[in-house]
Amino acid sequence: MLESLMQPNLVFVFSSRSFPGDVVGMSDVQIPLVEVSNLRFRWLRKGTDILSIENLTVQKGERLFVKGNSGSGKTTLLNIIAGIITPQNGSVKILDETISSMSSWKRDGFRAQHIGIVFQIFNLIPYLSLVDNVILPCHFSAPRRKRALERSSTLIEEASRLLEHLGLDINNLADQPVSRLSVGQQQRVAVARALMGGPELVIADEPTSALDANARSAFLKLLFREVEDSNASLIFVSHDASLEPYFERSIHLDKINHTGPRAT
Ligand SMILES: Nc1ncnc2c1ncn2[C@@H]1O[C@H](COP(=O)(O)OP(=O)(O)OP(=O)(O)O)[C@@H](O)[C@H]1O
Ligand SMILES: [Mg+2]
């Protein structure tokens, strides 16, 4: 499945939450990576809006935690930010490019190049091996291929590095089609695929739902390290409130979405 260059803005950020024991980095210049403005979206032409968001900005390198009730529109919002669907009103800018007004063909190319996505339903290619699933984005984006090859000498090596990093026993699982993996293992393959070739934006929809508490915290630490290494921004949707403190910022969708009931 298919799945830059910014104007600096002179604000400084001093907050960087981390795992206990981690060294907290110095301040970074804040540069907007994702800018959602005056967004309105409804699934059915004659239906009611399910999203109405005046403004949502995600900074370069920022880790944003998004929570919200089931059915409140989190996955829909991620799909809009990823350019999989387009809003009826408003704009979505990523890396200063307005993806919401691009043709679908251009959006597909933009997404392949700049965005790594972990879908709520993983969307792995069932008959491909773990490694081939992870390499997939590099077939659609020359820059991601180039960046992957800057980190490892072959794409297979880089995919294996990421999979091992995420705790998968690549020696024993390498030749298995992903359909034979457990849900937790598939989830980690989906994350490795999203990280492959260091996209500027990583979007993850409930990526830890199938992991136990220990695996979850190890997984998050590794995910953060990979995201930090490529200075990517991370938008992470989860119902698991215990993960929230690890993020620099957290938002409740119902608080920024002015269609439904407000969160308390
Ligand atoms: N393809 C679709 N066509 C029509 N309506 C849809 C579609 N996908 C989602 N919806 C509706 O949009 C609303 C928001 O759905 P969405 O999947 O974004 O919620 P969510 O916050 O991600 O929920 P969850 O936490 O359960 O994953 C729901 O009312 C859902 O029924
Ligand atoms: Mg969802």
Given this model, what pLDDT does residue 21 score? 38
Q: Is the pLDDT score of 166 beyond 90?
A: no
Chain centroid to CA 50: 22
Nearest residue (CA) to ligand 1, atom 25: 70
pLDDT at 3 over 50: no
Full-model pTM: 0.86
Across residues 97-102, what is the average pLDDT? 95
> Do residues 186 and 128 lie in contact, with contact meaning Cβ atoms separated by under 8 Å?
no
Cα distances (angstroms) measured from residue 104 to each of 3, 85, 111, 114: 12, 9, 10, 15
- Residue 253 CA: which ligand 1 atom is closest? 21
- Per residue, what are the HEC states of 96-122? CEEHHHCCHHHHHHHHHHHEEEECCCC
**Whose CA is closest to atom 17 on ligand 1?**
75
Closest ligand 1 atom, CA of 77? Answer: 18
Q: The domain 62-83+103-256 belongs to what CATH superfamily?
A: P-loop containing nucleotide triphosphate hydrolases (3.40.50.300)
Q: Ligand 1, residues 46, 75, 208: which to mutate, most atoms within 8 A of Cβ?
A: 75
CB 52 within 8 A of CB 256: no
- Distance (Å) from CA 97 to ligand 1 centroid: 26
Ligand 1, pocket residues at CB < 6 Å: 43, 50, 68, 70-76, 120
Triad 220, 223, 224: Cα angle to 5°: 85
Output the average pLDDT for the chain.
85
pLDDT category at 28 given cuts 50, 70, 90 is low
Higher pLDDT, 187 or 218: 187
